[in-house]
Amino acid sequence: MFNAQYFRTFITLVETGSFTRTARRLEMTQPGVSQHIRKLESYLGKTLLERRGRSFTLTESGRRAYDYALKLFAEHEQFRHGLDDDSLDSGECRIASPGSVGLMFYPYILGQQQMHPNLTVNYSFAFNHEIVNDLLEGRYDIGIVTEQVNHPELTCTVWHKEPLCLVVPADFAGSTLSELMGIGFINYYDGINHA
């Protein structure tokens, strides 16, 4: 069975190079240290140490177990400290929007990052359908789109209304999409959704 204390004992043993110093540092008995190492070796099914009298060297499995244990405890500490930081002023926020919206929104994001240096914003430009798909896949925390989204797993709120300006020749008198198409509507990828 996994026991983090066995890994902690193993790390200390590797760092001190001595069963006696490990026992002293962890306030254990020397046989207790030996027992932890034997149980860790049994759990992993590998010999971690080559013992030579009172000294030892790490086997290849021992080196790998030591590297793993260091990562394990480093991640654990990072996780523990992360739980203490529920602040909205820090952490990572992943946002996506079409380029036109992003150009308008980007200066605001920069200002927020200056006021909150522990806040990291990853901002991506994408088309509406890509943003919706990536939100559903968990790649973004927030998606800003230029059309209403109806999906049971997403909440869509109108945040901003922007007029869409249509530029036509001065003598154009049409008022329908078909008349506009007749003069050669120049579309961008998502433009038809706004026509």
Q: d(Cα 80, Cα 92) in Å, to the nearest integer?
A: 17
Mark whether 77 and 137 lie in a shared domain: no
What mean pLDDT do residues 42-60 have?
93
End of a domain among 84, 107, 137?
84
Residue 195 covered by a domain: no
CB contact at 8 A, 141 and 94: yes
Residue 177 covered by a domain: no
Mark whether 93 and 78 lie in a shared domain: no
Amino acid at 38: R
Where does the pLDDT of residue 192 fall: very low under 50, low under 70, confident under 90, or very high at 90 and above? low
Answer yes or no: is pLDDT of 82 > 80: no
* Kind of pairing between the strands at 55-58 and 119-125: unpaired
Expressed as residue numbers, the domain containing 64 is: 4-84
- Give pLDDT tens digits for 145-175: 988 898 999 999 988 887 777 788 899 998 8
pTM of the model: 0.47
Domain containing 150 — which CATH number?
Answer: 3.40.190.10
Mark whether 131 and 73 lie in a shared domain: no
Domain containing 39 — which CATH number?
Answer: 1.10.10.10
Tell me the CA distances in angstroms from 49 to 30, 59, 66, 67, one per residue in order. 16, 5, 11, 14
For 98, the 3-state DSSP assignment is coil
